[in-house]
Chains A and B, each alone.
Chain A
């Protein structure tokens, strides 16, 4: 196998050029002022200071809020789903999991686009409610629409890891607990939930990560006033053209995410076991 040592070298060069270098460039943009030329570079922390403005802090807070809500809703919906799926025979489980994954293969934008016709003011859901004699609430361009869109998009990312850890679980432990006199609830809480924790952590991290930085779903379902971090960054780069400020926000976002990930890893019992 020693002959293959050299096989990793191409990726060393590749990852430097397409992962490390771009990140260094963002950092460089984040700590410099706008009117740079190659000769004069003005280092400044103004871009980071600007983030302290209550408006931008609000955007961060709102992203965090949406991220937490979406993660919570996904967890509450996905856990029972994954749990029930794991009750079926292997063959049926396979089909059910396939049914969960198929939507992931369909372009996210196309699915979000479909939600618009469902949620809009004279859309299908409100037509349906009106027919039932109920008053249809405004759903489009609200928190509700954004959360629905994100949950629908990200739910599979929660279901699959939880399901995997549930099926990997040693079922004799559950039987042992029952033999020892634990009731159903106790067995669930002390055995099943604990053993599926790695899956939960995986799912929570994935969903939280994706929801906090998403920007297409908020634009399409939340309207332009719906500013999350992703939209703020896009705005700075695409419409306003302040790349330095946009980079500063990105750097901060990346740092925050990396910190959270390492925190999550610390809770994960599997990772601990390996270390």
Chain B
């Protein structure tokens, strides 16, 4: 639209909008050079996160998955979409309309519906979820976009041209590739670009259909929210730079060529050179992509052929360096995947994913045992057996006799509080302090239905394993009342970052997380109410689907090794099951840290037991109500 001089006001508006768009991106880039872990305080310049990035196998693997899937899915969906669009224009009306309508479904359907529909499909078909299922899903949701951008071009094309070509002796294939496809180029290119963007940015569909340790960048970032990791900022900065260079290059290239053509008047010659130039540009881009894919692929093929171990663990619950060390020492490959709760782990198992080693909590182990999902531990393979705190093996309530599980970490649940804000006397009220209106708006509750109900049940003096609907109802009312009077925020593992930054005064947390936070922020302290709490144990188990039980035992044994356990505990911050390590952290490394080795002898403490499905669904529904009450 033609317009005279544009005044400062509108220009300012554009500038403001761009600030809004680019603020998060600028923050990401800026803090990727921070010398400390903080994402809110800049402490100095450093390139350490870039160095970490280059050595982080997980991130590199995710980049490889994201890019390779985007490339393959784009190629496949462009070919499939283009030939379909060409074929459709000649199909019978009924077929054409039906197919175009079906084709619209994935475009209009919310991502999440597409995602679960594909997940159910793959599960029902018994497909092993992983790279292939993710690729199939991406092709499935990209192709419709290609068809919708190519089809209008097919309709507006002169339909006789292909026939002319064939009359002149071209084969149908030649007519297609030499006449039809070049005419459709703008549409195909638009569709291709759309497909590539969609695939690269996808989270929802990938999240639901993946498995066996295959994660793209989105999934990786989603699983990383537990602890601040500036490596991801470094990755983002590199990706942003790559995108900007490619986009600007693509934008500037045609205009540069245009100018060149104008300058040298010999139009014909430069035109050819220009076309050759573009081809060269496209070829160079394609070669770069292939080269990247090959480089990454070679990294992975180097490890194939070795024996593998599939480990499924809670997020941030192992030091990955140690896993790499294990891989080297035992000349094997560990396929490592993480989950965010025992329940989501169980759902994954139900949907057909198989693993060799799991690291569930007490009540989940009980459930897996009762559903005959586990392989018995052959204790004579566990050479470091005697290093384990004897009590953990002998007085095992969730797995009597420790026949199926080897203790990993343990602890309890309590209140992490800010010493400068919370009055010590108020804490004497026990769990009730979480309903003390003096601290309104200052409370984080943990988004775990069983632990939250534990808090309420213990505050009311009931057992946390109750099946009594009346008691559960009372606990529900306690939580609803708390939600109304205290305005608590229900958080996941992001509670740790928030407490380290001192955002609120109190939080319900696991003791190990408390120890980690106290170590980073000395204003914090940990308190376990006298009314009793959830005494929990996480342990390693081997599934009955385990392909290599010898290696699985070696893996479990490896993490009981004293040096390994010390390094692992340094990373995790929880109480180790290895006696000497437990004592070392209690008496030396974390001395005075109340989150470390909290007293575990209160008779009112309990261990969670497996819930009947009916009680579980009942509690889940109540918890959904509590969370969405505000």
A220-253: which residues lie under 8 A (CB-CB) from chain B? 220, 223-225, 227, 230, 232-235, 237-243, 246-247, 250, 253
Q: A1-B90, A4-B86, A18-B118 are in contact. Are A99 and B203 (CB under 8 A)?
A: no
Contact B625 A55 (CB under 8 A): yes
Give every chain A residue within 8 A of B108 (Cβ-Cβ).
209, 257-258, 261
Q: Which of B40, B83, B110 contacts A117 (CB 8 A)?
A: B40
Contact A121 B91 (CB under 8 A): no
Q: Which of B11, B201, B490 contacts A224 (CB 8 A)?
A: B490
A88-131: which residues lie under 8 A (CB-CB) from chain B? 88, 91, 94-96, 98-118, 120-124, 127
Give every chain B residue within 8 A of A80 (Cβ-Cβ).
10, 13
Contact A81 B203 (CB under 8 A): no
Q: Per-position contact with A for B529-545: 1 when CB-CB < 8 Å, else 0?
A: 00000000000000000
Complex Cα gap A80–B13 (Å): 8
Contact B87 A6 (CB under 8 A): yes
Contact A253 B99 (CB under 8 A): no
A51-71: which residues lie under 8 A (CB-CB) from chain B? 55, 58-59, 62
Complex Cα gap A182–B583 (Å): 85
Give every chain B residue within 8 A of A21 (Cβ-Cβ).
121
Q: A121-B498, A212-B110 are in contact. Are A241 and B350 (CB under 8 A)?
A: yes
Most buried by A among B116, B197, B232: B116
What residue in chain B is nearest A103 (Cβ atoms)? B21
Contact A117 B27 (CB under 8 A): yes
Contact A169 B109 (CB under 8 A): no
What residue in chain A is nearest B622 (Cβ atoms)? A55
Q: Which of B31, B95, B110, B113 contacts A26 (CB 8 A)?
A: B113
Complex Cα gap A247–B36 (Å): 45
Give every chain B residue within 8 A of A95 (Cβ-Cβ).
251
Q: Let me know if A180 is at the binding interface, CB within 8 A.
A: no
Complex Cα gap A254–B86 (Å): 29
Q: Per-position contact with A for B99-122: 1 when CB-CB < 8 Å, else 0?
A: 100110110111111101111110
CB distance from B364 to the nearest CB of A (A): 12
Most buried by B among A8, A106, A233: A8
Contact A10 B10 (CB under 8 A): no
Complex Cα gap A122–B120 (Å): 42
B490-508: which residues lie under 8 A (CB-CB) from chain A? 490-492, 494, 497-498, 501-504
Q: Per-position contact with A for B1-35: 1 when CB-CB < 8 Å, else 0?
A: 11100100011011001101111110110010000
Contact B21 A100 (CB under 8 A): yes
Give every chain A residue within 8 A of B491 (Cβ-Cβ).
141, 223-224
Contact A111 B24 (CB under 8 A): yes
What residue in chain B is nearest A105 (Cβ atoms)? B243
Q: Per-position contact with B for A117-153: 1 when CB-CB < 8 Å, else 0?
A: 1101111100100000000001011000000000010
Q: Let me know if B335 is at the binding interface, CB within 8 A.
A: no
Complex Cα gap A114–B24 (Å): 5
What residue in chain A is nearest B239 (Cβ atoms)? A106
Complex Cα gap A212–B113 (Å): 12
What residue in chain A is nearest B501 (Cβ atoms)? A122
CB distance from B440 to the nearest CB of A (A): 12
Q: Which of A14, A103, A138, A230 contacts B25 (CB 8 A)?
A: A103
Give every chain A residue within 8 A of B324 (Cβ-Cβ).
none
Complex Cα gap A17–B27 (Å): 44
Q: A227-B624, A241-B343, A253-B110 are in contact. Are A109 and B117 (CB under 8 A)?
A: no
Contact A223 B489 (CB under 8 A): yes
- Count residues on chain A whose CB falls below 8 Å from chain B CBs: 107
* A-B contacts, CB under 8 A, total: 299
Complex Cα gap A80–B6 (Å): 13
Q: Let me know if A185 is at the binding interface, CB within 8 A.
A: no
Give every chain B residue within 8 A of A114 (Cβ-Cβ).
23-25, 27-28, 236
- Count residues on chain B whose CB falls below 8 Å from chain A CBs: 114
Contact B80 A118 (CB under 8 A): no
Give every chain B residue within 8 A of A25 (Cβ-Cβ).
117, 120-121, 124
Q: Per-position contact with A for B27-66: 1 when CB-CB < 8 Å, else 0?
A: 1100100000001100000000000000000000000000
Most buried by A among B1, B83, B86, B341: B1
Give every chain B residue within 8 A of A86 (Cβ-Cβ).
1
Q: A12-B95, A227-B627 are in contact. Are A7 and B24 (CB under 8 A)?
A: no
Q: Which of B158-166, B261-269, B426-434 contacts A (4 or more CB under 8 A)?
A: B158-166
Q: Let me know if B244 is at the binding interface, CB within 8 A.
A: yes
Complex Cα gap A26–B118 (Å): 9
Interface of B is mostly: helix
Q: A6-B87, A19-B106, A216-B203 are in contact. Are A107 and B217 (CB under 8 A)?
A: yes
Q: A26-B113, A213-B111 are in contact. Are A19 and B13 (CB under 8 A)?
A: no
Q: Let me know if A186 is at the binding interface, CB within 8 A.
A: no
Give every chain B residue within 8 A of A116 (Cβ-Cβ).
39, 494
Q: A103-B22, A105-B243 are in contact. Are A8 and B88 (CB under 8 A)?
A: yes
Q: Which of B218-226, B397-405, B408-416 contacts A (4 or more CB under 8 A)?
A: B218-226
Complex Cα gap A114–B240 (Å): 13
CB distance from B551 to the nearest CB of A (A): 29
Contact A215 B204 (CB under 8 A): yes
Complex Cα gap A120–B41 (Å): 12
Complex Cα gap A124–B31 (Å): 11
Complex Cα gap A94–B114 (Å): 34
Complex Cα gap A145–B59 (Å): 28
Q: Let me know if A85 is at the binding interface, CB within 8 A.
A: yes
CB distance from B626 to the nearest CB of A (A): 8
What residue in chain A is nearest B626 (Cβ atoms)? A225
Most buried by A among B120, B175, B240: B120
What residue in chain A is nearest B3 (Cβ atoms)? A87
Complex Cα gap A118–B26 (Å): 11
What residue in chain B is nearest A62 (Cβ atoms)? B628
Contact A121 B221 (CB under 8 A): no
Contact A26 B120 (CB under 8 A): yes
Contact B243 A1 (CB under 8 A): no
Contact B87 A8 (CB under 8 A): yes
Q: Which of B139, B244, B628 contacts A58 (CB 8 A)?
A: B628
Q: Let me know if A43 is at the binding interface, CB within 8 A.
A: no
Complex Cα gap A8–B93 (Å): 13
Give every chain B residue within 8 A of A120 (Cβ-Cβ).
40, 497-498, 501, 503
Q: Which of B18, B24, B91, B113 contacts A115 (CB 8 A)?
A: B24
Q: Let me know if A84 is at the binding interface, CB within 8 A.
A: yes
Q: A14-B80, A213-B111 are in contact. Are A77 and B17 (CB under 8 A)?
A: yes
Q: Let me know if A204 is at the binding interface, CB within 8 A.
A: no
Q: Let me know if B247 is at the binding interface, CB within 8 A.
A: yes
Contact A99 B110 (CB under 8 A): no
Q: Which of B28, B84, B119, B172 contacts A10 (CB 8 A)?
A: B84
Complex Cα gap A152–B26 (Å): 14
Complex Cα gap A249–B187 (Å): 36
Q: A81-B14, A84-B10 are in contact. Are A152 and B89 (CB under 8 A)?
A: no
Q: Let me know if B176 is at the binding interface, CB within 8 A.
A: yes
CB distance from B249 to the nearest CB of A (A): 11
Complex Cα gap A225–B24 (Å): 24
Q: A237-B208, A258-B108 are in contact. Are A141 and B489 (CB under 8 A)?
A: yes
Q: Which of A10, A22, A87 contacts B121 (CB 8 A)?
A: A22
Give every chain B residue within 8 A of A261 (Cβ-Cβ).
108
Complex Cα gap A250–B244 (Å): 37
Residues of A within 8 A of B (CB): 1-12, 14-15, 18-23, 25-26, 29, 55, 58-59, 62, 77, 80-81, 84-88, 91, 94-96, 98-118, 120-124, 127, 138, 140-141, 152, 155, 166-167, 169, 171, 174, 209, 212-213, 215-216, 219-220, 223-225, 227, 230, 232-235, 237-243, 246-247, 250, 253-254, 257-258, 261
Beyond the given A8-B99, A11-B87, A253-B113, could you list 9 further A-B residue pairs with CB under 8 A, ordered by the A residue number?
A: A11-B80, A20-B102, A26-B113, A26-B117, A84-B6, A111-B24, A223-B491, A237-B119, A250-B116
- Nearest 3 pairs between A and B by C-beta? A7-B87, A8-B87, A213-B110
10 contacts between A and B (CB under 8 A): A4-B176, A8-B95, A11-B99, A55-B624, A102-B244, A118-B23, A120-B40, A220-B225, A224-B492, A240-B616
